[in-house]
Amino acid sequence: MAFTAKDVMALREKTGAGVMDCKKALTDADGDMAKAADILRERGIAKAEKKASRIAAEGIVACYIDGKTGVLVELNCESDFVAKNPQFTEIANEVAKVVIANDPADVEALLACAYDGATVEEYLKSKIAIIGEKIAVRRFVKYTTEGFLASYIHLGGKLGVILDMAGEDTEAAKEVAHDVTLQIAFTKPAYLTKDEVSAETLEKEKAVLKQQAINEGKPEAIAEKMVMGRIKKFYEENCLLEQAFIKDDSKKIAELVKSGNTSINKFAFFIMGEGLEKKSEDLSEEVAKQVAAAKN
């Protein structure tokens, strides 16, 4: 499979490896981007790819909580100037309220929901006319709990967290929940517990770590043993309850949560622009593709 200079630069941006290392990895991987990233890790040149490493659209992540129901939503626009406008946050909150009231299955269903005598899609069109930029709801998640919800919005909407906690919202539990939302924003865990890591993911990680050790010059038998220690580190980096608390690294998040006499049901976080790749288009074209019908 052939690859281009843009592929090399994309791999460099994703892994942090040098241009020549990326080019060689792509050559060895026959142009397969994911395989090339693994090769770079095996060679000790790149770290594991972190979720949400590419930001290619403007907008915000917002969270709206009404009692025991909350919505985390990403709303995209064309410029950072508009994204920072309080009116844009109000639009995101209104969209979240519609999600709470109607429980749509996806963005398409959300746009068809009734809003103020029209639909959400028509509401957004009216705001486009006022603001002068295209607006698109990209994604959302809705949580309803028997416990309580907590949220955290970082850097004015560049990242948002929603957290579903079990038990009563005592002051101690709310303080713990707040600390956990900060933890999630800082470490961006992929899982809540070790049990959530699939066997396929685990085996792939073990294979990469083993090859990494062999490339360091370790005999295969020693490499096998080293993998177990490195898998422990993988859990500690990627599973929320296994992580060291960022405010006190002598304590794990599991211990922190227990100290508040509560537990975590689930969590979600969005990084604004996650997964949107510019490719050859400029920013306005990228966002325009999402809302091509908005001005029709």
Residues 77 and 294: their CA atoms lie apart, in Å, by 12
Residues 111 and 86: their CA atoms lie apart, in Å, by 22
Fold of the 1-49 domain: Helicase, Ruva Protein; domain 3 (1.10.8)
Dihedral angle at the C-alpha atoms of 184, 188, 192, 196, nearest 10 degrees?
170
Greatest alpha-carbon span in the chain: 70
Long-range contacts of 112-116 (CB under 8 A, 24+ apart): none
Fold of the 58-190+266-290 domain: Tetrahydropterin Synthase; Chain A (3.30.479)
Q: In this predicted structure, what is the pLDDT of residue 188?
A: 96
Q: In this predicted structure, what is the pLDDT of residue 50?
A: 43
Instruction: Give the strand pairing for 248-252 and 69-77.
Output: unpaired
pLDDT for residue 292 is more than 70: no
Q: In this predicted structure, what is the pLDDT of residue 290?
A: 46
Cα–Cα distance list, 42 to 24, 39, 150, 261, 275 (Å): 13, 5, 39, 42, 24
Domain ranges of the chain: 1-49, 58-190+266-290
Question: Roughly what angle, to the nearest 10 degrees, separates helices 199-215 and 220-238?
Answer: 130
Cβ-proximal residues to 232 (8 Å cutoff; 6+ apart), any chain: none
> Who has greater pLDDT, 206 or 73?
73
Query: In this structure, what DSSP letter does residue 27 have?
Result: H
Q: In this predicted structure, what is the pLDDT of residue 225?
A: 83
Q: Which range among 41-45, 190-194, 224-228, 275-279 shows the weakest confidence by mean pLDDT? A: 275-279
In 3-state terms, what secondary structure has residue 181? helix
Reported as a single tens digit per residue, the pLDDT across 97-135 is 999 999 999 999 999 999 999 999 999 999 988 888 889
> Starting from the edge strand earliest in sequence, which strands make up the sheet with 159-166, in order?
148-154, 159-166, 263-271
HEC-encoded secondary structure of 132-181? CCCCEEEEEEEEECCCEEEEEEECCCCEEEEEEEECCCCHHHHHHHHHHH
Residues 49 and 95: their CA atoms lie apart, in Å, by 32
The separation between CA 42 and the C-alpha centre of its own chain, rounded to angstroms, equals 25
Specify whether the CB–CB gap between 76 and 91 falls below 8 A.
no
> In terms of Cα–Cα distance, which of 33, 40, 49 is closest to 18?
40
Residues 257 and 252: their CA atoms lie apart, in Å, by 9
Burial of 119 (0-12, 13-18, 19+ CB in 10 A): middle
The tally of CA atoms less than 13 A away on the side-chain side of residue 213 is: 19
| pLDDT above 90 as % of the chain | 62
In 3-state terms, what secondary structure has residue 206? helix
* Confidence grade of residue 210 (pLDDT, cut at 50, 70, 90): confident
* Confidence grade of residue 52 (pLDDT, cut at 50, 70, 90): very low
Query: In this structure, what DSSP letter does residue 4 have?
Result: -
